[in-house]
């Protein structure tokens, strides 16, 4: 089987888990190679290489030797300053990673989505409203990149409410009907200018509905962990 060398490819770490005695299995996301599975050898020894460099939410430059479905990391270095996510923002970052792990096939490049991911991380480090808007905009762009984009446009009536049907698109519906969103919220999501609470809430419900057929909410671990943490806080 032939081997291909990849040199200094921009990437973000999505997940990591122990492998054998001193190594890790990692999943990374890069613009030119998409989601890639790699073995990082020597990461758990007495003097592990690249410890601290292979960190979540840190832009990286990775080199690896590719063979089959799993490659082997040969070099790793930071490619700039990563974002610092605190409190619940860490869960939000994990959620973005989990979406990519669930929805992207390995070795399927999405360079625009890579840029969207980097932009979303910056948004998560901002104000609470900016962080929530960043999540919704990334979900919207992710669906679009995968061919499941919402049929948004700039022609919605500000005074009308709509119900989304996957086969029909947005259909006018009576205000107060469960599952409806306002025309104002749809316009805000289309322009990616989510600002008020009503727009953010509508966008969250709508995108959750749009994502459900592709990655059921019940299969996502991060929202469940966040819910558990909030319940522990209340207790």
Indicate the pTM of the whole model. 0.91
pLDDT at 27: 97
Sheet holding 169-173, edge to edge: 169-173, 161-165, 180-182
Which distant-in-sequence residues (6+ apart) come within 8 Å of 4 by Cβ?
A: 65, 66, 67
- Give the long-range contacts of residues 152-158, CB within 8 A, separation 24 or more: 152/186, 152/189, 152/190, 153/190, 154/187, 154/190, 154/191, 156/183, 156/184, 156/186, 156/187, 156/190, 157/183, 158/182, 158/183, 158/184, 158/187
Backbone angles phi, psi at 40, to 5 degrees: -105, 100
Maximum Cα–Cα distance across the chain: 64
- From first to last of its 235 residues, the chain has per-residue pLDDT tens of 456 899 999 999 999 998 887 889 999 999 999 999 999 987 655 445 555 679 999 999 999 998 888 999 999 999 988 899 998 999 999 999 999 999 999 999 999 999 999 999 999 999 999 999 999 999 999 999 999 999 999 999 999 999 999 999 999 999 888 889 999 999 999 999 999 999 999 999 999 999 999 999 999 999 888 888 888 877 6
Residue 200, helix vs strand vs coil: helix
CA–CA separation, 49 vs 161, rounded Å?
55
Kindly compute the dihedral angle of the four CA atoms of residues 120, 127, 90, 202, in this order, to the nearest 10 degrees: -70
Q: Which residues pair with 4 in a beta bridge?
A: 66
Check residue 1 and give its pLDDT.
45
Domains of the chain, start order: 4-78 (2.40.50.140), 88-234 (1.20.1440.120)
235: CB partners within 8 A, 6+ apart: none
Residue 71 pairs in a beta bridge with 38, 66
Dist CA 141 CA 211 (whole Å)? 12
pLDDT at residue 52, as a whole number: 61
The CA-based dihedral angle spanning residues 99, 111, 61, 54, taken in that order and rounded to the nearest 10 degrees: 0
Return d(Cα 199, Cα 211) in angstroms, integer: 18
Spatial CB neighbours of 212, under 8 Å, sequence gap ≥ 6: none
């Amino acid at each position: 089987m032939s081997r291909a060398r990849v040199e200094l490819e921009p990437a973000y770490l999505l997940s990591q888990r122990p492998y054998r005695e001193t190594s890790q299995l990692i999943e990374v996301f890069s613009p030119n190679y998409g989601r890639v599975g790699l073995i990082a050898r020597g990461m758990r020894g007495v003097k592990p290489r690249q410890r601290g460099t292979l960190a979540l939410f840190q832009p990286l430059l990775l080199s690896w030797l590719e063979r089959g479905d799993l490659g082997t990391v040969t070099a790793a270095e930071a490619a700039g300053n990563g974002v610092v996510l605190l409190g619940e923002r860490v869960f939000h970052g994990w959620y973005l990673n989990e979406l990519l792990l669930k929805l992207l096939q390995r070795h399927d490049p999405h360079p625009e989505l890579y840029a969207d991911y980097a932009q979303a991380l910056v948004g998560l480090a901002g104000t609470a409203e900016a962080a929530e808007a960043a999540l919704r905009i990334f979900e919207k762009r992710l669906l679009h990149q995968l061919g499941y984009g919402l049929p948004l446009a700039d022609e919605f009536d500000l005074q009308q409410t709509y119900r989304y049907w996957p086969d029909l698109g947005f259909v006018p519906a009576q205000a107060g009907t469960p599952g409806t969103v306002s025309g104002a919220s749809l316009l805000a999501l289309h322009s990616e200018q989510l600002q008020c609470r009503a727009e953010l809430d509508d966008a969250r419900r709508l995108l959750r509905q749009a994502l459900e057929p592709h990655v059921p909410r019940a299969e996502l671990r991060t929202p469940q962990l966040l819910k558990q943490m909030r319940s522990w806080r209340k207790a």
